């Protein structure tokens, strides 16, 4: 129908922690969650895959991780991507510059991205979508490698982090540096969309929750559902967990993962979606038309 809005309810950081995995399974079984993005090298990735095999309607994608995590490859094979502890270095501006201009760094980046795709394929799950932790695939080098390598692994859908400022401000105050950041990101995201579509791949139209990352509680979710554009595909993205475990608190001290899980599991959501002419699904569902 013309007035129908299509919404993907997605959880990032699947596999990061058992509390995240449990929240994904719960919010999919009893709530509205339709998909999750898997960090293949994360501590609880194997458990996440076991759960996903019991949830055939859950769309599982690859959450390509090149920052705030550990590589699939041994650190000595990707020395320019990691710090002295063998974790991906956090200095994104410097790393991004090196991605552009140093061939040896691009070769290591290509090898690690291919290894993460291969690890996902080895799990035997259908690839619903691909995105990147911290939206690092906004970087043109990362995006091109993500697409070129992904074609070997049946890539069909890629997230674009497009949250128009007018919509973002209806979810949370976005002023000053944050608003400037949205404006600076806009042309890069538009370019992403053109590149993705030029390869015959599917992408979402809007991503809601970007400027409210970690704060997508029940109130934010209901505001988002009131503004999803009709006739478009919107991803609402979350970071749910059944509890804020010590590891999650250390990594994301300001996030509210339990509130996000509770928001996704609210009993009246199916009725609300119906009343607002919102159809939920996965990237694979909507890529099929």
Task: Give the DSSP H/E element, type plus range, for residue 238.
Answer: strand 233-238
Q: What is the CATH number of the domain that holds 266?
A: 3.20.20.370
The answer to the question of residue 68 being in a domain is no
The answer to the question of residue 102 being in a domain is no
Instruction: Take residue 10 and report the two structure tokens written for it.
Output: 């997605």
Q: Would you give the end-to-end CA distance of the chain in angstroms?
A: 12
CA dist list (Å): 43 to 66, 163, 224: 15, 30, 31
The answer to the question of residue 78 being in a domain is no
Instruction: Take residue 181 and report the two structure tokens written for it.
Output: 């950041």
- For helices 45-53 and 18-29, angle between their N-to-C axes, nearest 10 degrees: 20
The answer to the question of residue 103 being in a domain is no
- Helix boundaries (H) for the chain: 18-29, 45-53, 92-101, 103-123, 140-150, 165-171, 176-198, 218-227, 246-251, 257-264, 269-275, 283-287
Q: Are 22 and 47 in contact (CB under 8 A)?
A: no
The answer to the question of residue 11 being in a domain is yes
Q: Are 28 and 60 in contact (CB under 8 A)?
A: no
Structural domain tally of the chain? 1
pLDDT tens for the chain, residues 1 to 289: 457 899 999 999 999 999 999 999 999 999 999 999 999 999 999 999 999 999 999 999 999 999 989 999 999 999 999 998 999 877 766 777 778 768 898 999 999 999 999 999 999 999 999 999 999 899 999 999 999 999 999 999 999 999 998 999 999 887 788 888 888 888 899 999 999 999 999 999 999 999 999 999 999 999 999 999 999 999 999 999 999 999 999 999 999 999 999 999 999 999 999 999 999 999 999 998 6
């Amino acid at each position: 129908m013309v007035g129908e809005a299509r919404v993907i309810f997605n959880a990032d950081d699947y596999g990061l922690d058992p509390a995240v995995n449990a929240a994904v399974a719960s919010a999919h079984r009893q709530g509205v969650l339709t998909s999750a993005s898997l960090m293949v090298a994360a501590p609880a990735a194997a458990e996440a895959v076991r759960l996903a095999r019991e949830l055939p309607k859950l769309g599982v994608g690859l959450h390509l991780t090149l920052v705030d995590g550990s590589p699939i490859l041994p650190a000595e094979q990707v020395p320019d991507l990691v710090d002295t502890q063998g974790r991906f270095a956090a200095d994104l501006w410097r790393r991004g510059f090196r991605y552009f201009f140093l061939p040896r760094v691009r070769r290591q980046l290509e090898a690690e991205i291919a290894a993460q795709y291969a690890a996902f394929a080895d799990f035997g799950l259908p690839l619903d979508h691909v995105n990147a932790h911290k939206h690092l695939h906004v970087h043109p080098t990362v995006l091109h490698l993500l697409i070129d390598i992904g074609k070997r692994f049946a890539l069909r859908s890629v997230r674009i982090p497009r949250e128009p400022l007018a919509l973002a401000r209806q979810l949370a105050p976005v002023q000053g540096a944050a608003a400037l950041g949205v404006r600076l990101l806009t042309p890069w995201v538009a370019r992403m969309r053109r590149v993705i579509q030029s390869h015959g791949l599917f992408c979402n139209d809007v991503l809601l929750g970007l400027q409210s990352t970690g704060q997508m509680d029940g109130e934010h979710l209901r505001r988002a559902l009131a503004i999803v554009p009709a006739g478009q595909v919107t991803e609402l993205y979350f970071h749910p967990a059944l509890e804020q475990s010590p590891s999650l608190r250390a990594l994301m001290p300001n996030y509210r993962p339990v509130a996000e899980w509770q928001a996704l599991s609210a009993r009246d959501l199916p009725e609300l979606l119906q009343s607002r002419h919102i159809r939920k699904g996965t990237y694979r569902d909507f890529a099929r038309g």
